[in-house]
Amino acid sequence: MTSPSDIAAPTAPPPVSGVGAGLILRAETSADGSAVETLNDQAFGPGRFAKVSYAVRELARFRHDLSFCAFEGETLVGSVRQSEISIGGKAVLFLGPFAVSAEARGKGVGAALIEQALKSGSKAGFPLVLLVGDLALFSRHGFENVPAGQISLPRPFDPRRLLWRPLRKGGEDGVAGPVEAPGR
């Protein structure tokens, strides 16, 4: 497992990949925070803070280093965030929010962000990524429904939207019980 990222991220991480002409992906920095918040406001609206995902993130540890921004030139066009949580004593990643600006949708920015997030989580040694979202959207990235009753969240949720994606063979083993704050 790499070092926890409550340590501040470097201010200018190198681009990790270019996706199509002019698109750059790189790890999120503290300086990106307000642009990411604006993007998420536009994508999800003010009601987003009531979602169960936000209750999970309240107890999670945000991982700058495993969260990615997509830029066209200087403009932020997409973001995926990941946070660390604990389930059954195992450190796992919680993915979200995940959004692409309305003008940039439908050309693979979202897919590139998800694949980069999964790759980084795997490289950091995490066994699994959990999220609350549409199976129709995330199944193309290997996410599946969590078996009913296996994981509980801090608030009521629709079990059909609780998805996981093991990052290695058997990554889901022992990942059962309530979502808790990450261990120290």
Q: Residues in the site for ligand COA, rule: CB under 6 A?
A: 43, 98-100, 105-111, 133-134, 136-137
- Measured from the CB of residue 106, what is the shortest distance to ligand COA in angstroms? 5
User: Shortest distance, CB of residue 39 to ligand COA, whole angstroms?
Assistant: 8
Nearer to ligand COA, 135 or 176 (CB): 135
116: tokens are 């980069």
Minimum CB separation of residue 45 from ligand COA in Å reads 10
E strand map for the chain: 17-18, 23-27, 61-62, 68-72, 75-87, 90-100, 128-132, 144-145, 151-152, 162-166, 177-180
Task: Pick the closer one to ligand COA by CB: 88 or 159.
Answer: 159
- By Cβ distance, which residue is nearest to ligand COA? 110
Alpha helices in 7-154 (DSSP H): 33-44, 52-59, 109-123, 135-138
Q: Closest CB to ligand COA among 107 and 168?
A: 107
How far is the C-alpha of 71 from the C-alpha of 30, rounded, in Å? 16
Residue 137 contacts residue 146 (beta carbons within 8 Å): no
